[in-house]
Amino acid sequence: EIVLTQSPGTLSLSPGERATLSCRASQSVGNNFLAWYQQKPGQAPRLLFYGSSTRATGIPDRFSGSGSGADFTLTISRLEPEDFAVYYCQQYSHSPRTFGQGTKVEIK
Amino acid sequence: EVQMVESGGGLVQSGESLRLSCAASGFTFSSFSMNWVRQAPGKGLEWVSFINSIGDKIDYADSVKGRFTISRDNGKNSLYLQMNSLRAEDTAVYYCARGSGAGHWLIDYWGQGTLVTVSS
């Protein structure tokens, strides 16, 4: 099983600041099949990126995804009020598909 | 608009069974793989099960293997999860989630979820 470790657990930032979220895998993620999801309280997750860096439909370009192998990053260049949420990475190259434990981006 | 609506959740006792349903609309259901993903209260996401578009490839997390059964009815645009021998640790919101293609493992859309509570 591929274990995904996200850091930090919580990121306290102000609107307009840059957010950098990390997702590290216990082994290489094949084909960079790594996705990022955003989840707001009481809502279902929403796909942000797949294939590490391909933006899903409707995702603003202040969001960017990068990385390969076992080391991946989600960056939000300038936080908007609607970006405060929990972010999960997930690998979909090996079964079982696994998620990271999440990073909460909260308002400072 | 892609939409999945889960139903069938509720409160059950440990050891009992429950069947979840997911009604899909807004896309050609028979062309997409489907998943169940759960989230325990206040916790992260856990993938539970996968079924490809025609139902001949199925996969489960070890935590539910032998107790849960995923199935689909393409004629009814519906996905199901039969959950037997339920345990307290199965308590979670269960999401129906669409795969990005016929056999694809990437999840691109999620339903709003249905809460399953297992009392010990």
Which chain A residues touch B if contact means CB-CB below 8 Å? 33, 35, 37, 39, 43-47, 50, 56, 88, 90, 92-93, 95-102
CB pairs under 8 A between A and B: 51
Contact A66, A53 (CB under 8 A): yes
Interface of B with A in 57-116 (CB under 8 A): 59, 61-62, 95, 100, 105-113
At B103 the pLDDT is: 76
Strands (E), A1-85: 4-7, 10-13, 19-25, 34-39, 46-50, 54-55, 63-68, 71-76
What is the residue-level pLDDT of chain A in tens, covering all 108 positions? 999 999 999 999 999 999 999 999 999 999 999 999 999 999 999 999 999 999 999 999 999 999 999 999 999 999 999 999 999 999 999 999 999 999 999 999
At B102 the pLDDT is: 73
Tokens linked to A62:
């202040």
| Minimum Cα–Cα distance from B64: chain A residue | A96
Do the Cβ atoms of A96 and B109 come within 8 Å?
A: no
Query: How many whole angstroms separate alpha carbon B88 and alpha carbon B66?
Result: 17
**B39-94 residue pLDDT tens:** 999 999 999 999 999 999 999 999 999 999 999 999 999 999 999 999 999 999 99
The full length of chain B comes to: 120
Query: How many whole angstroms separate alpha carbon A102 and alpha carbon A93?
Result: 19
Mean confidence (pLDDT) of chain B: 97
Instruction: Give mean pLDDT, residues B31-38.
Output: 97
